[in-house]
Structures are given as structure tokens and as C-alpha cells.
């Protein structure tokens, strides 16, 4: 790779942040892509080695889910890779209750959550997880009941904290009032900033961490996106920012990132556009932790080294000013991704 920020392993491990009370590396590792979603996947053995390599680089936050089971069972990969260093890392996993729950009791919910959690713990080869997150809100289950059950699991020591994924501000307030939330996990990047309006300010007010998935816009912000013919379970099939016309229309954003990367290059730092986009996010708020998920070791190192790229207030403000004049084309609609997985 032409550009690579040079930083020692020691300096990498010194960068950390807190998701409420859970201390993690400033950049986390999203494990989903190891099981599918972005074209060809590594073998189970290769995936385990990749996760362990991420730890060796300095990553200490690993994000997975019970439903990441496209080609391999993701929680099993994480469990095998981290079992002998379990106390040195933080594991975040998610559950998704999509079925009809209308009329079912809190007791039934508690039993279901315990069963799901125990299954996840078995796969993860551990007796607890740092963050247990509900992925997507089920309208049949009052969030207050979910929050109560999470509080009980915290008391039992099976989880240290809990979270919600892809939620609105009012839903966060309702849940947090029952059992304080540890983190919100939702999409956020320099390309997708919807959560800046209500959710991120509320997280700051309530001392809730924010895990940003797709912080590089599913790879678009790396500058290597092409008009490829994505097929199968590759979620880029249904992400419209990868449409041919939108790739061209969004070039001004990539040009902006290249501009700032070049300016940092001039200062002798050797920075990539992807690192600028991650550095922008880290500068935004100190409770935001991006969780990119590359499968290539060099790209993983590049992403992690973004924690050592510091933007001055002047540089950050200049980027913000430029962004205000750039229109983004295309999006990433979660319902389309869910439908894609259902059809296969």
C-alpha cells in the first residue's frame, strides 16, 4: 500500500475511549464481514487468525452478533480467537427478536433473553459479555421491558452493560430511564450523518457511548469503490451509494478527503483518505468509537492507525465547512439488507 501511517504497537495500545464504564480501544473491530456480507469470505481458520491479528495490532473491542451466520458462525470465530486473552478485550454482541411478541409477558421475555444470551456465551467461550445489544426495535416489545431484563442480567454478572442499535432519540430516553444504556450502535460516517441531529447529542447528555458501524460507508470512503457487479449476499448490491451514477456524483466528498490527506502528507504524516474520515469522527466526540471491519491486515492496520491522526480544530472546522456544501447521493437502507438476507 502506498500510504501507511507509521505508528508503533505500543503507541497504538495507548489510545482508548470509554463507552460509559467500558474502556475500549479508540477504534474497534467489526467482525461481521468475516462471515459474509461483502463477497468472498475467509475460511474459519483464516478468520480466527484475522481476529487474533486485530488484537495483536491493538484492537480491544470486538463487535459481533448472534445473527452473523451467513457462511460461518461469527460468535464462534470470536470465541475461538479470543478465548485465551478474554480478560484483555471487550466483546459486544447483539440479539435480534424479529418474531411476533404481542401479548407475551415480561417473564417470557426474560426467559427468552437468558436462553439467547447463554447460547451466545457458549459460542463466545465466555461467561459474560461487556455489551449486550438489541438490534432493531421490536414494536411488540416495550423497550421498558427489555431495559428491565437487561438490568437483571447486569445484576447476575452475565453482561456488564447493554445497548440498542438503530434507534431513535425518544426510544433511547425511554430505555435509559429504566436501565442506563452503555452504548448505541448505529451507522455513522462522514457520509451518513443522520444521527448527528438527535441521537449523538442525546448520548452526550446521558453519558451513553456510541459505536459507529460502517464508519467508512461500507468501504466507499477508502476511495477504492468501483462499479462492480456485486452478487449473492453482498450487501453492496442494495446500497445505492454504489450505483454507477452515485459513485460519480459523490466524488466531491472523496476529493475533499484526498485534499486533507495530501495536506497531512505534506506535514510528513503519510495519511490516507480513510484515516482522515475516521480522524474526523474521533475529533467529533470523545465517546464515539468507530468499528470498521476490513478483512485485509494492511487495511486493518491503516484503520487502527487513524487513532494517531489528530486533526487541529482549524482543520476539523474547515472539513465541516466544506461538508456543508457537498450533497450526498445514495444511502444504506437497513430494510433492504434484511430483505436481501431473507431471500437467500
Let me know if 68 is a catalytic residue: yes
Helix (H) / strand (E) containing 60: none
Distance CA 165, CA 142 (A): 15
Cα–Cα distance, 279 to 326 (Å, whole number): 19
Cα 315 to its chain centre, rounded Å, is: 25
Q: What is the largest CA-CA distance in the chain?
A: 63
- What is the 8-class DSSP label of residue 141? S
The upper half-sphere exposure of residue 282, i.e. CA atoms within 13 Å in the direction of its Cβ, equals 28
Q: What is the DSSP string of 22-78?
A: EEEESS-EE-GGGTSSSSS---HHHHHHHHHHHHHHT--EEE--TT--SSS-HHHHH
According to DSSP, the β-strands at 90-95 and 288-290 are: unpaired
The length of the chain, given as a count of residues:
344
CA distance 292 to 308: 16
**Given 38, 59, 68, 188, the catalytic residue:** 68
How many other C-beta atoms are found inside a 10 Å radius of the C-beta of residue 70? 18
Question: What does the alpha-carbon distance between residue 191 and residue 319 come to, in Å, rounded to a whole number?
Answer: 12
Q: How far is 237 from 225, CA to CA, in rounded Å?
A: 13
What are φ and ψ of residue 176, in 5° steps?
-65, -30
Rounded to the nearest 10 degrees, how much is the dihedral formed by the CA atoms of 52, 165, 38, 4?
-50
Question: Annotated catalytic sites, by residue?
Answer: 68
Amino acid at each position: 500500500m502506498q500510504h501507511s501511517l507509521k505508528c508503533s504497537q505500543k503507541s497504538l495500545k495507548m489510545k482508548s475511549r470509554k463507552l460509559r464504564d467500558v474502556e475500549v480501544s479508540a477504534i474497534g473491530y467489526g467482525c461481521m464481514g468475516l462471515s459474509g456480507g461483502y463477497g468472498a469470505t475467509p475460511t474459519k481458520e483464516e478468520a480466527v487468525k484475522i481476529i487474533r491479528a486485530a488484537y495483536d495490532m491493538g484492537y480491544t473491542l470486538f463487535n459481533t452478533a448472534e445473527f452473523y451466520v451467513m457462511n460461518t458462525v461469527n460468535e464462534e470465530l470470536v470465541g475461538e480467537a479470543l478465548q485465551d486473552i478474554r480478560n484483555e478485550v471487550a466483546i459486544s454482541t447483539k440479539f435480534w427478536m424479529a418474531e411476533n411478541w404481542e401479548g407475551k409477558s415480561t417473564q417470557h421475555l426474560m426467559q427468552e433473553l437468558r436462553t439467547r444470551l447463554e447460547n451466545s456465551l457458549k459460542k463466545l467461550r465466555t461467561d459474560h459479555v461487556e455489551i449486550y445489544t438489541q438490534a432493531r426495535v421490536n414494536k411488540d416489545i416495550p423497550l421498558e421491558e427489555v431495559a428491565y431484563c437487561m438490568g437483571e442480567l447486569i445484576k447476575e454478572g452475565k453482561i456488564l452493560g447493554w445497548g440498542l442499535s438503530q434507534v431513535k432519540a425518544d426510544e433511547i430516553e425511554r430505555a435509559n430511564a429504566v436501565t442506563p444504556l452503555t452504548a448505541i450502535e448505529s451507522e455513522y460516517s462522514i457520509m451518513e450523518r443522520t444521527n448527528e441531529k438527535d441521537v449523538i447529542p442525546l448520548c452526550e447528555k446521558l453519558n451513553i457511548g456510541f459505536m459507529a458501524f460502517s464508519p467508512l460507508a461500507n468501504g466507499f470512503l477508502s476511495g477504492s469503490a468501483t462499479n462492480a457487479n456485486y452478487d449473492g449476499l453482498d450487501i453492496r448490491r442494495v446500497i445505492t451509494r454504489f450505483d454507477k451514477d452515485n459513485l460519480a456524483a459523490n466524488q466531491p466528498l472523496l476529493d475533499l478527503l484526498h485534499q486533507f490527506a495530501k495536506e497531512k502528507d505534506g506535514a510528513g504524516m503519510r495519511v490516507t483518505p480513510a484515516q482522515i474520515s475516521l480522524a474526523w469522527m474521533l475529533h467529533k466526540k470523545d465517546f464515539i468509537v468507530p468499528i470498521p471491519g476490513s478483512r485485509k491486515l494492511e487495511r486493518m492496520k491503516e484503520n487502527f492507525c487513524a487513532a494517531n491522526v489528530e486533526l487541529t480544530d482549524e482543520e476539523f472546522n474547515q472539513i465541516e465547512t466544506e461538508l456543508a456544501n457537498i450533497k450526498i447521493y445514495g444511502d444504506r437502507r437497513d430494510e433492504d439488507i434484511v430483505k436481501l438476507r431473507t431471500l437467500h
